[in-house]
């Protein structure tokens, strides 16, 4: 019973992380640093539309997390996206990250929480990814 409650709390928290980053930081541009990061990595000419697209994708990820649909596949994709995104940022734009290269520690913690939540706490899913 306790695992189920913790799973629900962590699932909502993970979804809120995606929602806040997508909606507040990127779509509403309340944290302009995100557009600067995208501009430095992918080019300033495309920074605004790409940041908006990334933000919308993060909102979709949040909705997916909240629904619980194919949650194992969702967790694997979250882990892959966070790993790739943070690896690129670590190498290319560490000066624009909120905590610099220390951001990677927080990314690893988020990855660990997602993994723990899905592959240890969430016993209602099967052993397949889909």
Q: Is 94 exposed, middle or buried (0-12, 13-18, 19+ CB in 10 A)?
A: middle
pLDDT digits (tens), the chain, 130 positions:
688 999 999 999 999 999 999 999 999 999 999 999 999 999 999 999 999 999 999 999 999 999 999 999 999 999 999 999 999 999 999 999 999 999 999 999 999 999 999 999 997 755 555 5
- Biggest alpha carbon–alpha carbon distance for the chain: 51
pLDDT in tens, 57-79: 999 999 999 999 999 999 999 99
Q: Which residues of 36-57 are buried (b: 16+ CB within 10 A; e: fewer)?
A: bbbbebeeeeebeebbbebbee
Alpha helices by DSSP H, listed for 20-94, are 33-42, 47-67, 71-92
Residue 123 has a pLDDT of 78
Task: Tell me which residue has tokens 């706490």.
Answer: 121
């Amino acid at each position: 019973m306790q695992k189920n409650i913790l799973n629900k709390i962590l699932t909502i928290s993970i979804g809120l992380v995606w929602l806040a980053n997508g909606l507040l930081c990127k779509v509403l541009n309340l944290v302009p640093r995100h557009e600067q990061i995208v501009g430095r990595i992918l080019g300033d000419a495309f920074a605004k539309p790409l940041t908006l697209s990334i933000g919308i994708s993060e909102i979709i990820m949040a909705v997916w997390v909240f629904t619980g649909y194919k949650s194992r596949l969702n967790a694997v994709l979250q882990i892959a996206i966070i790993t790739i995104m943070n690896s690129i940022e670590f190498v290319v734009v560490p000066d624009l990250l909120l905590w610099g290269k220390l951001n990677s520690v927080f990314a690893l913690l988020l990855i660990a929480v997602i993994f723990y939540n899905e592959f240890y706490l969430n016993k209602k899913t099967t052993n397949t990814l889909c």
